[in-house]
Chain A
Amino acid sequence: MTHLFSLPPVSVRAGRVWYRNLVVFVRTWKVNFFPPFVDALLYLFAIGMGLGTYIKEVDGIPYINFIAPAILAISVMNSAFFECTYGSYVRMYYQKSFDAMIATPLSIEDVIAGELLWGATRSVLYVAVMLPVLAAFGVISLPLALLALPLAFLGGLMFAAIGMCFTAITPGIDTLNYPMFLFITPMMLFSGTFFPLSLLPEAFQYIALALLPLTHVVAIMRMLTLPALSWTILLHLAWIVAVTAILWVISINLMKKRLIT
């Protein structure tokens, strides 16, 4: 049957699934736009102004400006990962939405691709809400910081695909807690988010760069919002594109394996 690495045939119908999720999201927009808005404020106050009182600068950058891109990157990660783990699992298992969808011309590949694209879109929407808040506090620099939006899509797609892999193999919804605590939370702390990667022991720095996807999203995001562009942005981008492409293929095939029997 389907090989784990065989290229899944995705059609433009994936857009239908994406659109369905968008319609539901927009219908409940108040509930959906409030959290990222509050999130941004909470981080700014708690870490920026609380912790920031003691830590004035990191590498010559005001601390609050240092963590602003991290707040965006973490939000990219969380929104896409949550959407394609808990969100997709509920739609797949409890609502049987995928079964209903594949009874139409949609294929399972279309459905999962639509879910992944939606996960990425959600990251973009979250960042779109947070950007004005951060800009209002003057902790990011426009207009280059607007590139955070396309970055949110790319990074969101990566975390959506990571989440979908877990969704494909999880025995139940409770076991989705494991990747949350063992993968997402450590990543949130050790990816050069609230303190520079260079403070970690050298071996850990390499591990973070090699294995923690958030590291690369934070690095690019920081270059965009400070701004402090460097050619290494290309390395980070290449890493994200490669991993996203591979996981896009694997996550769709794993879900097909789970659902088509």
Chain B
Amino acid sequence: MTGIIEARNLRKTYGDLVAVDGISFSVKKGEVFGFLGPNGAGKTTTMKMIACVSPRSSGVLSVFGMDPDTQPAEIKQRLGVVPQETNLDPDFTCFGNLFTYSGYFDIPAPAAKKRSDKLLEFVQLQEKRDVEVEKLSGGMKRRLILARALVNNPDLLILDEPTIGLDPQARHLIWEKLKTLQAQGNTIVLTTHYLDEAARLCDRLVIMDKGTILVEGTPADLVKQYVGDEIVEVDKSAEMLACLVAHDIPHEVTGDTIQIATDSSREIAKILLDSCQPKKMLTRLATLEDVFLKLTGRTLRD
């Protein structure tokens, strides 16, 4: 096994429900690996299996070359987990949360004290050191959870929706911290709904849907491969559609707009301007979001 995480045919079922349906992936040391997908795609279940808190139904899974079924404590000793739900200990202050959590990793008290203070500084919460966690804002709580995930100096960070519900300032701060951690050689696995976040942070990612992996690659490659470089958007009208068909231009209708994915927006724009009289036209770079919607569809999931 070469990767930090190796999964082959990993499967998880709850009764009749198949949450993860035979996925295979490999996460290399030092990379940021993303799991994207609509709600119910199986991302969180996959995270839980890696984090040794949910046993797999079948397949092969190894973390640091160890099996979560047989060596969970050894694996977890080297993991840092940021869960989707905020589960800080309300009976303690910010410092108390980090210090108590350090105890669960058998970190001696003097070292735990020092590290807790250092981490509070790292997530810019040193002024809230002795404040009860209930009094923190949502963004502060997420930052404290990130700090908590780092108390044991983990080799692998697992982040389930790390920036969920945060304002742009808080998101940028978390991104910055994750970049720092990656630069220090940490391996990071994350799930997210925010595709700009994935594009910004991930070296490689998979898009999941209905328990399976649809595609895997670098964000840039995926955009290029599945959408193209650019998108031209025009308002939807019968004439426009007819015009596009007449010129044999592949397009996609989404609501009130027509999207045309292309490697050269200039060429398309010229054709449209010359012969289709568009009322409004917009060209933009293709994003991961276009890939995501193309692969997983536009239907609401829950």
Contact = CB atoms under 8 A, between A and B. Distances in A.
A95 B104 contact: no
Contact of B72 (A19, A27, A107): A107
Chain A residues touching B, range: 20 to 34
A238 interface: no
Interface in B104-120: 104-106
A180 interface: no
A104 B54 contact: no
B27 interface: no
B104 A13 contact: yes
A24 B90 CA distance: 10
Contacts, number: 65
A95 B105 contact: no
B91 A24 contact: yes
A104 B101 contact: yes
Interface string A73-102: 000000000000000000000011101111
A199 interface: no
Given A95-B90, A99-B83, A106 B54 contact: no
A261 B14 contact: yes
A16 interface: yes
Contact of B104 (A1, A96, A99, A101): A101
A99 B54 CA distance: 11
Given A97-B89, A103-B81, A260 B54 contact: yes
A104 B72 contact: no
Contacts of B86: 96
Interface in A1-58: 1, 11, 13, 16, 19-20, 23-24, 27
Nearest to A94: B90
**Most A CB within 10 A of own CB, among B54, B55, B103:** B103
B103 A20 contact: yes
Interface string B19-58: 0000000000000000000000000000000010111000
Contacts of B51: 103
B54 A100 contact: no
Chain B interface mostly:
loop
B104 A97 contact: no
Nearest to A12: B106
A100 B73 contact: no
Nearest to A102: B53
B103 A19 contact: yes
A105 interface: yes
A16 B85 contact: no
B142 interface: no
**Most A CB within 10 A of own CB, among B51, B73, B85, B88:** B73
Given A103-B51, A107-B72, A95 B77 contact: no
Contact of A105 (B54, B92, B105): B105
B87 interface: yes
B162 to A, nearest CB: 14
A96 B91 contact: no
B291 interface: no
Given A260-B54, A261-B14, A20 B87 contact: no
Contacts of A97: 87, 89
B76 A105 contact: yes
B48 to A, nearest CB: 9
A192 B81 CA distance: 51
B105 A100 contact: no
B100 interface: yes
B106 A105 contact: yes
B79 interface: yes
Nearest to B48: A261
Interface in A129-178: none
Contacts of B79: 103
**Most B CB within 10 A of own CB, among A27, A96, A97, A103:** A103
Given A23-B100, A102-B53, A96 B87 contact: yes
Contact of B53 (A11, A16, A23, A260): A260
Contacts of B54: 260-261
Nearest to A97: B89
12 contacts: A1-B55, A13-B106, A16-B103, A16-B104, A20-B103, A100-B89, A103-B83, A104-B76, A104-B101, A105-B104, A106-B104, A260-B55
Given A19-B103, A104-B104, A104-B152, 14 more contacts: A13-B73, A16-B104, A20-B100, A20-B103, A95-B91, A96-B86, A99-B53, A100-B83, A103-B51, A103-B76, A103-B83, A105-B72, A105-B105, A106-B104
